[in-house]
Structure 1
Amino acid sequence: MKLKLEQSNRLVSLALYVGSMFLLMEWVYPLDIITDTGQSHLFIVFIVVMFALSMIHLPFGLISVIKAGILLLFIHHVFFDTAFFSTEWVKLFFEEMVINVQESIQQNWQTLTPVFRTFLFLILLWMLSYLLYYWYVVVKRPLAFIFLTVLYVTVLDTFTVYEANIAIIRVFSLSALLLVLANFHRIVESERLTEPKARQFIKWLAPMILVIGISAAIGYAAPKYEPQWPDPVSFIQSASENGFGSGAGFGGVQRVGYGEHDDRLGGGFQMDNTTVFYATSSAERYWKVETKDVYTGHGWERSSEGERIASETGQFPEISQYGDVVAREESSLDLQMIEPGNLNKVPYIYGTEQVGTTNDQINFEYDLITNELLSLDNGEQTLVEDDYSLEANRPDFPRNAMREVPVSYQEDSGIDESYLQLPDELPDRVSNLAGMIVSEEDQNRYDYAKAIEDYFSEGDYEYATDDVAVPDEDEDYVDQFLFETQRGYCDNFSTSMVVLLRSLDIPARWAKGFTGGDRAFEQDAFPDAGSDVFEVQNNNAHSWVEVYFPDVGWVPFEPTIGFQNQVDVSTGESIDDILDDNQDDALDQPESSEQPDADSQLEEGEEEEGNDSEAAGSNGDSSVSPWIVISISVIIVIIVGLLIYYRDRLVYAWRKQRLKRRANQATITESYQFVMKLLAKKGYPFKSGETLREYAKQADRILDGRSMSELTHYYEQFIYREDSFQSDQSEYYRLWKKVTDLILSK
């Protein structure tokens, strides 16, 4: 069905449709904050383009082809480096779709790649632009979508980090205006009034806009009562299955947060949203605090108290000891401690080389064994309230170099054999499971580690924070989790991965600290940092795995279900290498690491983007210049604008060719109705109760002749009397072309 804009209410319809577009944008704005979606501004551009194309009123088939082409262009811009619609691009895109359709049929939703998720999301936006056209322009019923938008924004404001103070004002103001316009339309329809001209319409609408604006301003600025009921969110969060246990449990329920006692792991915990610190960062990063190396069968201990080094300047290049094959990126960060609680060490990101503070009394030490960064005031370990500053060269770990490392531990690798330690009582089935997991992998350390990292998400394991078992004295913590409960949180997953790796003779250790936290838009710690501030709570306490690769260093891995690796991992190849190997990769795609399956595409995208983007439209190339995006967007808007401006002439040219090639009842009816639409746009619509001949005479007065009456005579003969049209086709075509040219010239 082709939706038609009512000519008698074009201004109202246009205003309603544009308003619905801005309401739809309110659904997209929060995605950057509440999800790991990146480049959401492209979704905004896509919405504008879809809505603009819907207003052109080209034939449904033609407009669908144009929209589909633009959708594919967006997908190509975000994800592909090959030429658009080239043979290589079509092949890659087709393979991507086939793989994801197969995964969808098997209900493997977590393995869907970012390309496919973005493709589905863009189709959803396309469909919404069409549905909103129907709801707002055709039937003029905006209330349902307004209600859903208000509900969506308020729920996000209540249960997520999204601050919707301004969004609520925008939604309220726009919704009130849309309801006013819809009511105006009903009055015009019921009273059979003629829609006012644009200038009169604006004069009528201006007081409404003023009243709505004043009401919104008063509502925003007026004093407000404090909450009258206890906040239910904290309770809901504490009962939800999200978070981390600090590992001090003896079977009882703990409160989540950083803790030093990890010798007895297990047991559930309660959520705690206390803010530990604020940090400036462009993206989420692991905040490392320490590592432990001795697994006891029930938890973690240290083989020694470590080896501390001091630095008067705060420079510790030892923190960032990576091989020459590791690319580095400079980064400066600041931390402001709020309520550190049990935390008495300075959290830092991977690649940190220098730490400082505004307090001259503070000195720093770093432990080479436990990886703890300590701040001391007159020799006493403490965390001051002053800001901490970090200078780092963030590592970009090269996948190809890590794949060259043999699986087994080498004595000359530069690390102690203690990172292979396992308790003598460890059940044999644990090492047997490790061998089974990697049995089909290439024999290199990286692929073995990735196979074990992925194993937990592919099985029947469940992430949970309550009813988590604590092993008895004669039970092993990892064995119980792997073969009996298969239920737990990050301590269970990370400890199990370290043990599985060590059973394969791969050096690994247990790391703990915090995940990157959530973006904080309203905070006093760094008021000038904008959106590049993260709030790290006790809820963000976390543990993960580090694997050693000679000539690379200690590399983090993330086995916990629902969490993503927050360091950068790239192929490690130069542009020249990629170009040289491109042809070989194309021939070897089924087995080559450069053409991964759906699982590896998802994980590699997450690693390389550093967790900046993961949902629909997420894993785009972050190196694309914003000016390119802006230029493409401007070009698209200009093209759409020209199409709207010359819409009638484009449709005229298409109708003319169609009528000339095939003059039948369908094309003649369409051509005559097209003339009526053009006249309606000029202010002379067909009135109810009026005959075609009366309408034609009125049109002839505008056109200064009798062409419309003659055209109507031929049209009536063919439509109503079904006379043969063979001899009069050329005359009808001549008259129709003459009338149309006259109207378009007015």
Structure 2
Amino acid sequence: MAEPGARRSLSSGRLPSGRSGSQWAEDALLSTLLLLLVLEWLYPLGKLASITELYAIGPFVWTFALFVGIDTFRLGWQPSWLLKAGWMVGQTVWLHHGGAFPDLNGWMLWGQELAMDVREGAQGRLADWEPSTRTLLFVGGWAFFISVLQSLVLERKQMHALVLLTLALPIWLQTAFGMDAFASACRTLIFGLLLQWLLQPGFLRRWQDDRPSRASASAVGSRERGAAVHSAGVRAQGAGLLLIAAALGIGWLGAYLQPQQTAAPDWKQYVEAWEQRFIGGSASGSRLQSGQARTGYGADDRFLGAPLVPDHRLAFTAVTDKPTYWRGESKSAYTGRGWETYDSSLQPGRFEAPPIQESANERETVRQAITLADRSLDRLLFAGGVITRVDELRTTQGDTIPSEWVWRQAETDRYTVPALTEPLASYRVEAKVAPDRAALAALPSAEYPADIAARFLQLPGSLPERVRSLARDLVGDASTPYAKAEAIEAYLRESYTYSLDPGAPPADGEDLVDRFLFETRKGYCDHFSTAMTVLLRASGVPARWVKGFAPGEVTGTTAGDAGILYNVQVRQSDAHSWVEVYVPAAGWVPFEPTPGFGAAAKDGAHPLQRTEDAAAAVSAPASSLLSGEWMRAAQRRLAAFSRLLSELPAMAQAWMSAAAGQWPEIWAKATAAGWRWLLAGGMLALPVLLRLLDLRRAGLRRLRTGGKGPSLPPALPPAGLLPSLRRLSAYRLGQRLWRKLQRAYGKAGPAQTLREYAASRSCRSVRQREALMHLTRLLEAQRYGDGYAAEPDGVTREALRKAWTQLRRSRRF
């Protein structure tokens, strides 16, 4: 039933009459909380930039805020959508033209691309759409969605579903990607609970206004009823706010007392189980063997060590002053199975030369021009060292991207261009390559900066002791970082065998480095570089794992202004990983522990020789999404769920025993954190809480009785899933009985009411007539009664079944 007077739908396009300043303020506050909830869907896109390629969410935050603001002012659908459409088009063009508006020719070109994408979409070729078109659709879809959500909040006063879905999002992200969901879940709970708290008075008013006329015909006038509702709502606000604070405080206290480190999930065991169950060995001829991967550059380094097969596709070509390794990025957190980063946040690229304290160690500048051939690399910048300048960025459309649009991941020195731009086709950079290692041998030892030591000496607690013991034996009496690094590098190059097939990857609980050093004793670059990094850290030398490409194949030389220029072809089989060691007086210096490759910095970072089948620094596993990874993960989860059901009783008993055993520790932490303050706060809060709850009960009781005089309409129906399911079940049963009734007594006429239908049927006895009329009254009450009542006029499933049974029995007499 529509709301009277001033409350009109947002979609009607008309301003409500008589809207007071307090209503405007209430709508603005509700809209702000809704915006904060919606933004929780946007933040993960930036955190997962390596997957979504969305490196800057700021423009979209402002866009969402504008959409919410327009709908808050209720300008009408025509001006509202004209403003939104203009903003969406302008923002899309601005983003995809380097942060500036194009001239007339640029606008015409964009219009032609949009028309072409429309034709391609009609043909089902969605993958060929331009990035600008995808951005426009993304923003347009959110514009419609935000408008619907705001209508639900401001008009219907309901938002349970969005709060629950927004709360489920960080939980799912933590499960799937290992993201820390604590902050996002806390924000969602705060915004969601506050939103629901503020919606309750409006929901009570709307419920009263939507009552059927027969319910509003009580002796208490609508003005008194509205006053009672307002009084009850106001009195319940304090209790609601205190309950929100108590819920959040208890949740935070539990997380504080039992902190957990977020870890990325290991999907490998689920993938393998599903593969064995549904694929088995029958598909081995059409795909890589289980656990194998192809050489190539990728983004996920969490699980290394799978057997490799070479991929000789061309990655890029380059022209360079000097053959160098092509650095992509570094990673610093070793997990025992692979590598992760502590901080994946991005910032606008800053091209600065690395600080060098000694003139003898000054780094050489190289100039390099790269032309990409593999589209999987069209967002990344590779260079022979630390990038100090970007001269030119060209897209596949021939447009220029400003160098200010290059983003840098501070922790890894990974340089990218935003996904909002056209894919890269070529670029020219200047970089500083590592100094000649011969000059580093005489440098004295010095203390490491605190931030370097804290981050780049990290090792997992599960690292076997024999790895640490080997590190101590290898460095011996060496006193400088350079001497220790050379000793470990030489040991690995001379004592282990290079192979693309090192056997099965480490199982659960096994350490990649330990397995390589003491069991398999063979591997490829990932094994050698990871082992050297771990051994260096175990001996007290900061080191980090670096991935990129080996120098590649020199196909020719040309004469340049500054000397010889090398023409180089780099293939996916040249994907490689190596080590960088921190030397206090020289910064980060590369080392090459993999046999068959040149010492990474002994001769200016160019190779002594090239190995044809270079291992992948990060490879795309054959058991990836395209070969059924998620299907296999789902099957593993189903099997785990079945086991969980069978083991549930034993687990419950174990949890209870563990909780009982840990209670003294929890209590000790709580008391150590200030038990006197907690006790005093609890003693003060308890009577306040009880008083507010009593006021809330009194307010709701007054809502039902009006305090004096005839009773008001009944209280709100029970909320929640079970009462709703009971009402739905009774309604569906009523519909089935009505169809059965027509099959037994004949079809109803087009304009017949239920009572007219019952009166026109012939019955054998008075008992049958009474039973028919009784069932008809129940169906009539269910169909036309108060939909907000818990059980409309007592129409339950049991009452309907009993009435139908009586009617069937009456036909026998």
* Fold in common (TM above 0.5): no
Structure whose alpha-carbon radius of gyration is higher: 2
Provide TM-score, normalisation by structure 1: 0.39
Q: Which has the higher contact order (CA 8 A, sep 6+)?
A: 1
